[in-house]
């Protein structure tokens, strides 16, 4: 990476991790707590109330210890006098009740937290999935988007609940600490101060370690995503054939191990540095404790403290040191949560750029005039390469239009624009004369059905795989079978053990399909929707010549009364169209019927002859 890019990234990280930036991120606290409240407000309130009670009980235990020890000392001094023993019993009973209540509340708290965690996690994943399914396609072309998604989905999703727990723990520790400090103040004013002095260095070191780990985390987001990529390559059924035939297993195993080792060593180096610093802080804490123990021993010799006060002092000191340490560690956790919340809310605040108009135009059903692409120019986000320039195309109603061209000519880009996954930088696309940007996206897309060049393989039943093409209309089994027959998939489907109820894919099902069979199922999915406009992107690319010939021979009957656009590089497929457009480098260079184009001896004719020679 060039030096100036490294400097730019370092400056960005410094700004993000600066004290000013971290203080600014406290704005996320109310927003995060609001998310937890929305996810499970009743359980949130119950969790907080339980923590307040738990915060009071330790101080009560310390105080009751003093009273109980003094009462038992009185019993010993009175040689077991019954009346003195009766006076001790209430303190013993209160201590036992306090211990029982604390243990019971701890068990209840664990259950409440488990429910709260599940509900909050479900709520957060719903938010993230809602965002991932609503954002524009351009986000999926961006590396920075995947970095944000990685940090939000894998690390930040649990942070709102973690923030609530951190605040609750701080509240519990603060309540207990205030009560303990009040007890220690009854002995001497400077003892609580020594508690703070002994534990303050640990807080500073914890903050610095967290800051260094966060810098490392941000700096290695891409590397950690690459680690997941290597892991997937070594466990994915689609990658296994090539890994074996080209003997790439060792290469990816080594790449994974090397990168894992590098990340692990960098992470452990930060932790080791913090470990030594914390050791120094612990020594300082022990010195302050030794000083206070010396004072306690001197006070006992001078009879300034009675036995109960000595026991109470020792318990309060131990508990106080733990509380201050927990309080500081809680602040460190809170600081860490705020850093992650920045990732979460940065992701959740992303907004789509392709949006519906305030008052969408409702176009009458059907395609009456046709679709026109007028002088559009389009570049993909973060790319200077022009995919389409001053491009125009007309798809007349009821006609079959084919676009042929080499890979990279811009054919698939056109389909994305027609579906309004993107908006062109210049020009317009109209549906019956209406700019598609003036239509609601859902309305537009419901009028279109499409076979993508790389259709998804859904590991669901055969029927669901086809029904997914039009869930809104809830196609019947008869509709599904009819669509399968259109795509020539019915014959092999009926050979499956459970017919149309057979679950496809080896992950969960009984039947794995060939590439060509998956394509036919996807084709059936496209045909089950009774849409006005049919787009087929390389519909026969995975079919053998016999299957292609049989299917294309019936194609015109299958799309009767519908408008169709075929994207293909196969001339045997394109020749079925009413109009053929030849596309090169984002522009149409020839148009006409198959017969017209062959007779002109142009680009199409030359490519046709070459393709026919290969077939022969």
DSSP 530-599: --SEEEEESTTTTS-HHHHHHHHHHHHHHTTTSEEEEEES-HHHHTTSSEEEEEETTEEEEEE-HHHHHH
pLDDT at 324 over 70: no
479 or 585: which leads in pLDDT: 479
Tell me 511's DSSP state: B
Could you tell me if 462 and 420 lie in one domain? no
Tokens (6 digits) for 228: 């997941």
Backbone CA torsion sign across 280, 281, 284, 285 = negative
- Of the ranges 71-80, 476-485, 519-528, 557-566, which one carries the lowest mean pLDDT score? 71-80
Predicted local confidence at residue 552, as pLDDT: 67
Burial of 582 (0-12, 13-18, 19+ CB in 10 A): buried
Asked if 291 and 317 sit in the same domain, the reply is: yes
| Residues 462, 465, 466, 467, Cα dihedral to 10° | 110
C-alpha neighbours within 13 Å on the C-beta side of residue 239: 13
Q: Are residues 304 and 437 in the same domain?
A: no
Q: What is the pLDDT of residues 91-100, one digit of tens each?
A: 778 878 887 8
Q: Which two tokens stand for residue 103?
A: 């243990």
Residue pointed to by tokens 């079978």: 481
Domain assignment present for 359: no
Asked if the structure places residue 380 within a domain, the reply is yes
Residue 139, in any domain of the structure: yes
Of residues 36 and 330, the one with the higher pLDDT is 36
Sheet holding 426-431, edge to edge: 386-396, 370-379, 426-431, 434-435
Residue 1 counted as domain residue = no
pLDDT at 479: 93
Structure-model confidence comparison of residues 185 and 14, the more confident one: 185
Q: Give the confidence band of 547 by pLDDT, cuts at 50, 70, 90.
A: low
Which region, left, alpha or beta, applies to residue 433 given φ > 0 means left and ψ of -120 to 50 means alpha? left
Q: How far lies 148's CA from each of 133, 203, 347, 456, 521, in Å?
A: 15, 29, 6, 25, 34
pLDDT reading at 5 higher than 90: no
Cα 385 to Cα 374, 405, 584: the distances in Å are 20, 18, 15
pLDDT value at position 224?
80
For residue 448, which of 464, 462, 426, 469 has the smallest C-alpha distance? 469
* Any domain includes 358: no
Q: Report the pLDDT averaged over residues 196-206.
A: 69
Three-class secondary structure of residue 4 per DSSP: helix
Residue 370 β-bridge partners: 396
Complete edge-to-edge strand list for the sheet that includes strand 579-584: 448-451, 533-537, 563-568, 400-405, 579-584, 587-592
Question: Count of domains in the chain?
Answer: 3
Last residue of a domain, one of 511, 530, 549: 530
Q: What does the pLDDT look like over 41-95, one tens digit per residue?
A: 888 888 888 878 877 777 777 777 777 777 777 766 777 677 776 777 787 788 7
> Do residues 259 and 376 both lie within one domain?
no
Q: Is the pLDDT of residue 437 over 90?
A: yes
What pLDDT is recorded for position 476?
Answer: 92
Is residue 233 located within the same domain as residue 115?
yes
The confidence band for 613, taking pLDDT boundaries of 50, 70 and 90, is low
DSSP 363: P
Mean pLDDT of 490-517: 85
Distance, in Å, from the CA atom of 120 to the CA atom of 117, rounded to the nearest integer, reads 5
pLDDT score at 8: 47
**Of residues 591, 602, 570, 586, the one with CA closest to residue 401:** 591
Q: How far apart are CA 364 and CA 464, in angstroms?
A: 30
User: What's the rounded mean pLDDT across residues 186-212?
Assistant: 69
Which residue range is the domain that position 216 belongs to?
Answer: 9-348
Whether residues 185 and 278 share a domain: the answer is: yes
Q: Which of 266-280, 499-513, 559-573 has the lowest mean pLDDT?
A: 266-280
Cα–Cα distance measured from residue 307 to residue 298, given in angstroms and rounded to the nearest whole number:
13
Residue 564 and residue 417 share a domain: yes
**What local confidence, expressed as pLDDT, does residue 478 receive?**
94
CB 442 within 8 A of CB 379: no
* Cα–Cα–Cα angle for 45, 49, 52, rounded to 5 degrees: 140
Query: Per-residue confidence at 150, pLDDT binned at 50, 70, 90?
Result: low
Q: Which two tokens stand for residue 48?
A: 């907080």
Q: How confident is the model at residue 429 (pLDDT cuts 50, 70, 90)?
A: very high
Q: Which helix (DSSP H) or strand (DSSP E) does residue 494 occupy? A: none
Torsion-angle region of residue 538: left (phi > 0), alpha (psi -120 to 50) or beta? left
Question: To the nearest whole number, what is the mean pLDDT of the chain?
Answer: 78
Whether residue 399 is found in the same domain as residue 275:
no
pLDDT of residue 260: 86
Pinpoint the alpha helices (H) of 404-511. Answer: 411-418, 441-446, 462-467, 477-486, 490-493
Q: Do 467 and 593 fall into the same domain?
A: no
The confidence score (pLDDT) of residue 374 equals 93
Name beta bridge partners: 426: 377
Judge whether residue 343 has pLDDT over 60. yes
Is residue 137, in this structure, part of any structural domain at all? Answer: yes
Please indicate, yes or no, if residue 499 is contained in any of the structural domains: yes
Among 68, 318, 94, 297, which Cα is nearest to 184's?
A: 318
Alpha helices in 152-303 (DSSP H): 159-185, 190-219, 221-233, 240-245, 249-301
Exposed, middle or buried: residue 425 (CB in 10 Å: 0-12, 13-18, 19+)? exposed
pLDDT of 11 higher than 60: no
Residues 389 and 474 in one domain: no
Euclidean distance between CA atoms 552 and 267, whole angstroms? 59
Q: What is the pLDDT of residues 92-126, one digit of tens each?
A: 788 788 878 888 888 888 888 888 888 888 888 88
Q: What's the burial of 253, exposed, middle or buried (CB within 10 Å: 0-12/13-18/19+)?
A: middle
Q: For the chain, how many helices (H) and strands (E)? A: 21, 10
For residue 471, what is the domain's CATH number? 3.40.50.300
In angstroms and rounded to an integer, the radius of gyration of the C-alpha atoms of the chain is 35
Task: Report pLDDT for 121.
Answer: 81
Whether residue 427 is found in the same domain as residue 461: no
248-293 pLDDT per residue, tens: 778 888 888 888 888 888 888 877 777 776 777 667 666 776 776 6
Average pLDDT over residues 584-588: 81
- Kindly state whether residue 132 falls inside one of the protein's structural domains: yes
504 vs 81, residue with greater confidence: 504
Q: Which of 348, 380, 415 is the last residue of a domain?
A: 348
Mean pLDDT throughout 602-615?
Answer: 75
Given 483, 502, 530, which residue is the final one in a domain?
A: 530
Mean pLDDT of 168-180: 73
Same domain, 389 and 422: yes
Q: Which residue has the higher pLDDT, 153 or 415?
A: 415
- The CATH number of residue 90's host domain is 1.20.1560.10
pLDDT over 80 at 448, yes or no: yes
Q: Please list the alpha-helical segments (H only) found in 302-363.
A: 307-348
Q: What is the pLDDT of residue 426?
A: 92
């Amino acid at each position: 990476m060039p030096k100036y890019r490294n400097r730019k990234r370092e400056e960005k990280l410094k700004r993000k991790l600066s004290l000013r930036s971290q203080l600014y991120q406290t704005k996320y606290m109310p927003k995060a707590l609001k998310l937890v409240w929305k996810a499970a407000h009743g359980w949130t309130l119950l969790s907080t109330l339980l923590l307040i009670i738990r915060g009071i009980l330790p101080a009560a235990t310390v105080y009751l210890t003093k009273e109980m020890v003094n009462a038992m000392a009185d019993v010993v001094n009175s040689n077991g006098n019954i009346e003195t023993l009766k006076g001790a019993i209430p303190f013993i009973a209160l201590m036992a009740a306090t211990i029982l209540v604390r243990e019971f509340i701890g068990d209840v708290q664990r259950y409440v937290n488990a429910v709260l965690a599940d509900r909050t996690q479900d709520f957060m994943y719903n938010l993230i999935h809602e965002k991932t399914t609503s954002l524009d396609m351009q986000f999926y072309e961006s590396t920075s988007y995947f970095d944000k998604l990685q940090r939000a989905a894998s690390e930040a999703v649990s942070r709102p609940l973690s923030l609530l727990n951190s605040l609750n723990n701080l509240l519990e520790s603060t309540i207990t600490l205030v009560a303990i400090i009040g007890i220690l103040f009854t002995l001497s004013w400077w003892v609580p101060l020594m508690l703070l002095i002994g534990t303050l260095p640990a807080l500073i070191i914890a903050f610095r370690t967290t800051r260094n780990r966060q810098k490392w985390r941000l700096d290695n987001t891409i590397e950690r995503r690459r680690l997941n990529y290597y892991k997937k390559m070594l466990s994915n059924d689609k990658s296994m054939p090539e890994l074996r035939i080209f003997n790439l297993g060792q290469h990816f195993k080594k790449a994974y191990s090397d990168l894992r080792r590098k990340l692990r060593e960098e992470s452990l180096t930060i932790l080791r540095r913090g470990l030594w610093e914390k050791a120094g802080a612990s020594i300082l804490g022990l010195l302050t404790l030794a000083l206070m123990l010396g004072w306690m021993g001197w006070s006992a010799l001078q009879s300034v403290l009675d036995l109960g006060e000595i026991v109470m002092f020792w318990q309060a000191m131990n508990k106080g040191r733990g509380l201050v340490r927990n309080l500081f560690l809680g602040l460190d956790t809170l600081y860490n949560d705020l850093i992650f919340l920045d990732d979460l809310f940065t992701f959740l605040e992303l907004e789509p750029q392709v949006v519906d108009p305030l008052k969408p135009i409702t176009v009458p059903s059907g395609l009456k005039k046709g679709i026109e692409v007028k002088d559009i120019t389009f570049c993909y986000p973060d790319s200077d390469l022009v995919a389409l320039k001053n491009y125009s195309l007309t798809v007349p109603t009821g006609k079959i239009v084919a676009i042929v061209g080499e890979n990279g000519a811009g054919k698939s880009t056109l389909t994305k624009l027609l579906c309004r996954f993107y908006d062109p930088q210049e020009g317009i696309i109209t549906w019956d004369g209406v700019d598609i940007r003036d239509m609601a996206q859902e309305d537009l897309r419901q009028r279109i059905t499409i076979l993508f060049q790389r259709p998804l393989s859904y590991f669901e039943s055969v029927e669901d795989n086809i029904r997914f093409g039009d869930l809104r209309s809830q196609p019947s089994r008869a509709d599904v079978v009819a669509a399968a027959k259109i795509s020539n998939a019915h014959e092999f489907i009926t050979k499956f053990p459970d017919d149309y109820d057979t679950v496809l894919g080896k992950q969960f099902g009984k039947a794995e399909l060939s590439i060509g069979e998956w394509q036919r199922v996807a084709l059936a999915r496209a045909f089950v929707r009774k849409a006005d406009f049919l787009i087929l992107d390389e519909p026969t690319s995975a079919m053998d010549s016999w299957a292609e010939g049989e299917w294309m021979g019936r194609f015109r009957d299958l799309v009767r009364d519908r408008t169709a656009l075929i994207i293909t590089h196969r001339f045997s497929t394109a020749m079925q169209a009413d109009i053929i457009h030849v596309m090169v480098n984002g522009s149409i260079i020839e148009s006409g019927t198959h017969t017209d184009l062959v007779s002109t001896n142009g680009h199409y004719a030359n490519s046709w002859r070459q393709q026919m020679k290969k077939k022969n």
